[in-house]
Amino acid sequence: MSTVVDRARRLAPQPRDARTTALVAVQHLAVREVAIRVLRALGAQDVIAATTVAEARRAAATFSGQVAVIEAGLQDGQGVPLARDLRAAGWSRAVVISTSEDPWTVRAALSAGVRCYLTTTDRGGLVPELSSAPEGLHALSEREVEVLQLVGDGRSNREVGEELGLSALTVKSHLARIARKIGTGDRAEMVLITLRAGLIS
């Protein structure tokens, strides 16, 4: 993993009573959840999540904020132009995460006002390591793995149900069984565990 950071300008301190709003535009659920948690730990009071360029643009038009974490390759467009447009709209700081170390892309990002460009060899490299795999992983059914794959893609229970021909209630039941098997009911952690096990991508 490598990082390019633009330190040419100091960040202006925020007034003590000001609320910090951040935007996370990342398609992959596990990576998005990690970014949200990190931003909250760093003091962001409001974190807006988006999975596409279109969602991010709508959010930026509705809210004003200071920090944006953007995936370089979203399903409906590129993150660098989005970062440039957010900067023009008043979002003063942007971080782009990517699986590519293409120097032209990095240069374009820095030219667009991106303050940090984080690269990793694969998408999984952006996800924290887990200590060990739960024993219940081998007990997951094919349908449960399908549900987790769609959850990992950022789908809601309703959207997972529509994709698989199930009701949202049935999807919820699948997730409850998965939680019992792998020992956690947290959606992001479920996805992290099965990503590390190679059951989903």
Q: Break the chain into its structural domains and give their ranges.
A: 2-126, 135-196
Q: What is the pLDDT of residues 27-64, one digit of tens each?
A: 888 788 888 888 887 778 888 999 999 999 998 888 88
Contact 48, 79 (CB under 8 A): no
Q: Which one, of 123, 97, 35, 28, lies nearest residue 105 by Cα?
A: 97
Length of the chain: 201
Percent of the chain surpassing pLDDT 90: 17
Locus of tokens 């590129």: 78
Whole-angstrom Cα distance, residue 177 to residue 179? Answer: 5
CATH code assigned to 135-196: 1.10.10.10
Q: Could you tell me what percent of the chain has a pLDDT over 70?
A: 83
Supply 122's token pair.
């694969």
Q: What stretches of 135-197 show up as alpha helix (H) in DSSP?
A: 142-152, 157-164, 168-182, 187-196
Average pLDDT of span 156-173: 92
* d(C-alpha 175, C-alpha 129), whole Å: 22
Tokens 């219940």, located at residue? 136
Tell me the pLDDT of the chain averaged across its residues: 78
- Of the candidates 126, 89, 124, the residue with the CA atom closest to the CA atom of residue 194: 124
Cβ atoms 190, 182 nearer than 8 A: yes
Do residues 94 and 118 touch, judged by C-beta distance below 8 A?
no
Lowest mean pLDDT among 151-160, 168-177, 182-191: 182-191
Which segment of 9-23, 129-143, 178-192 scores lowest on mean pLDDT? 9-23
pTM, two decimals, is: 0.54
The angle subtended at Cα 156 by Cα 148 and Cα 142, nearest 5°, is 25
- At 91, the pLDDT band (50, 70, 90 cuts) reads confident
- pLDDT of 15 reads 44
* Nearest-5° Cα angle at 28, 36 to 134: 90
Instruction: Classify burial at 198, counting beta carbons within 10 Å of its beta carbon; exposed 0-12, middle 13-18, buried 19 or more.
Output: exposed
Matching residue, tokens 């202006």: 12
In this prediction, residue 14 carries a pLDDT of 44
What's the CATH fold of domain 2-126?
Rossmann fold (3.40.50)
Identical fold between 2-126 and 135-196: no
